[in-house]
């Protein structure tokens, strides 16, 4: 017999962190399903280097969507959905739980209020480092799935097959390719979430503690766009590093990747796929944060009505 409503209400009252875990996981699930096709397009654009031989280049968001649809069908647009869901669920569950925890911890240790900018930045970076390190293997697999086609040296049947194959061929280190560049992405959340928190406060009515859905969407969209534009090059580097399965690898590390990409493709290469990324991540982030806020509010109401 499944747990009753009263049981869940009691558990949620006992652990405030559980609310953030459930809300984060729910937000991640919704976002991963809705935005998967654009994620595939962005990843392929990021991953392609200089075209060689008969290999064709992907050109733009619309062109890449059309080509994937014509060559691979609907399944091509949802390649990597499994590991994406497996990735987003724990990533956002861990991130929002850790963010709330570190925000309270830093405020308590420093004596600053939770609304202090320093508290937001430290909490965002700590939560980002925690979730990134734990979930990096899933993002390696997601990247491999989204870029695999007839030209790639690997063909994974499913998520489990990818895990087994990567472990057998590349060892444990294979799961942590691109971790350094992923951790560089902490600067992204260090910009996004403090800016979101400040915008959320500014957009809140002075005579109310309730923040409207419109204000949440505006704050989350603006903060995500600003952070994405400022930190985008690290995503291209991360995708290239994660996608290496051959030996010896083309890119030997973050610095070597930066140098080689710049020498072969120029400065524009560091912004490949950025329009697609903004088209995907800005509404995706707004959806994630709005879903998270609404689930937290609903869980708070659940505990309040069962006291």
92: nearest Cα among 42, 123, 135, 126: 135
pLDDT digits (tens, 9 = 90+) for 140-162: 998 888 888 777 777 888 889 99
Six-digit token pair at 250?
A: 């083309």
pLDDT at 14: 56
Check: CB of residue 194 under 8 Å from CB of residue 120.
Answer: yes
Domains and CATH numbers, the chain: 15-47+57-302 (1.50.40.10)
pTM, to two decimals? 0.75
Could you tell me the two tokens for 304? 């309040």
What gap in Å lies between CA 22 and CA 54, rounded to an integer?
48
Tell me which residue of 144, 25, 162 sits closest to 91, measured CA to CA.
Answer: 25
Buried b (16+ CB within 10 A) or exposed e, 75-89: ebbbbbbbbbbbbbb
For CA atoms 73, 79, 82, 86, the dihedral sign is negative
pLDDT at 24: 85
Contacts of 253 (CB under 8 A, 6+ apart): 180, 241
pLDDT of residue 66: 93
Q: What is the pLDDT of residue 206?
A: 81
Q: Could you read off the pLDDT tens digit of each residue along the chain, which spans 307 residues?
A: 555 566 555 655 556 677 778 888 888 888 888 888 988 998 889 888 766 666 678 888 899 999 999 999 999 999 888 888 877 778 888 998 899 899 999 999 999 888 888 999 999 999 999 999 999 998 899 888 888 877 777 788 888 999 999 999 999 999 999 999 889 888 898 999 999 999 998 998 887 778 889 999 999 999 999 999 999 999 999 999 988 877 788 999 999 999 999 999 999 999 999 998 898 889 888 888 999 989 988 888 877 776 5
User: According to the model, what pLDDT value does residue 228 have?
Assistant: 93
**Residue 274, class by beta-carbon neighbours within 10 Å (0-12 exposed, 13-18 middle, 19+ buried)?**
buried
pLDDT of amino acid 51: 65
């Amino acid at each position: 017999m499944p747990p009753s409503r009263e049981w869940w209400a009691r558990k949620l009252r006992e652990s405030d962190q559980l609310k953030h875990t459930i809300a984060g996981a729910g937000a991640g699930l919704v976002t991963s399903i809705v935005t998967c096709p654009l994620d595939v397009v962005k990843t392929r654009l990021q991953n392609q280097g200089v075209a060689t031989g008969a290999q064709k280049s992907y050109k733009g968001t619309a062109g890449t969507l059309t080509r994937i649809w014509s060559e691979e069908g609907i399944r091509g647009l949802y390649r990597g959905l499994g590991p994406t869901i497996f990735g987003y669920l724990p990533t956002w569950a861990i991130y929002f739980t850790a963010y709330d925890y570190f925000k309270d911890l830093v405020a308590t240790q420093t004596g600053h209020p939770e609304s202090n900018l320093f508290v937001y930045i430290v909490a965002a970076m700590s939560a980002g480092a925690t979730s990134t390190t734990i979930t990096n293997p899933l993002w390696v697999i997601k990247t491999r799935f989204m870029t695999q086609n007839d030209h790639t040296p690997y063909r994974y049947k499913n998520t489990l097959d990818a895990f087994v194959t990567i472990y057998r061929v590349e060892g444990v280190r294979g799961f942590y390719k691109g971790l350094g560049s992923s951790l560089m992405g902490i600067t992204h959340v260090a910009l996004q979430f403090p800016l979101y928190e400040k915008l959320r406060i500014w957009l809140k009515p002075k005579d109310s503690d309730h923040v409207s859905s419109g204000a949440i969407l505006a704050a989350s969209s603006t903060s995500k766009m600003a952070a994405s534009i400022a930190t985008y090059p690290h995503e291209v580097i991360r995708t290239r590093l994660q996608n290496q399965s051959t030996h010896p690898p083309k890119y030997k590390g973050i610095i070597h990747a930066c140098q080689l990409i710049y020498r072969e493709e120029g400065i524009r290469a560091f912004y490949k796929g950025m329009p697609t990324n903004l088209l995907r991540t800005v509404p995706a982030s707004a959806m994630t944060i709005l879903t998270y806020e609404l689930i937290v509010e609903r869980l708070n109401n659940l505990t309040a009505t069962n006291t």
